[in-house]
Amino acid sequence: MKPVLISIALGYVLGSIPFGYLLVRAFHGEDVRTTGSGNIGATNVARRFPGLGAATLLLDALKGLGPVLLISRAFPDHPELPFVTAFAAVAGHIFPIWLKFRGGKGVATGLGSFLLLTPKAILVALLVFVLVLAAFRFVALGSVVAAAALPFAAYFFLEGERPAGIAMITAASLLIILKHHTNIRRMLNHTESKFLD
């Protein structure tokens, strides 16, 4: 199998593990998709089960970090492949085969996926997220603005294998932003819940 296919397959399969869904099902016997926003990610899990929400955040980040690290070690002569893997992990979280392609929004997985590849840009994105969340108290807004900032920060700090790396970062960011379309609509209609209320 070609290295690029291995990279895509590994990123997608590990990225598609629905930890939020599995944790809530295992510890409380519930389907997290039937509560709150219906999302399987850490924010929705944390609304009812804060401890499981923190665990979901960590595991979702690790499932992005893990395959990127493995591909980096397995194919050191192909520096573009970890970025392909990172994008595949984000896509796997958003479109998991195990849940009929209806997954989370990819923020934590994106964080983990690009942490080793673009550490300075990730730091900027985290700072943007915290500032927007503090100012407006919308997790979704912070996530969208942070995702939008990531490829620009990576480009500014000369992080990311070019052009493939920047393309994969941009594609992952666009997926995350598009996945927030219902949140964006609710914010425009003033019906989005504030996480800190």
Would you give the DSSP letter of residue 35? Answer: S
Residue 186 structure tokens:
């609710």
CA 88/CA 149 separation, integer angstroms: 20
**Number of domain units in the chain:** 1
**Domain range for 41:** 3-188
Tell me whether residue 96 is in a domain.
yes
For a pLDDT cut of 90, what percent of the chain falls above it? 90
pLDDT at 196: 47
Tell me whether residue 127 is in a domain.
yes
Tell me whether residue 195 is in a domain.
no
Nearest to 84, CA basis, from 8, 166, 9:
8
Assess contact for 105 and 141: CB atoms under 8 A.
Answer: no
- Residue found by looking up tokens 């503090």 in the block: 134
Assess contact for 92 and 15: CB atoms under 8 A.
Answer: yes
Residues 88-113 have a mean pLDDT of 96
Tell me whether residue 144 is in a domain.
yes
pTM as predicted: 0.95
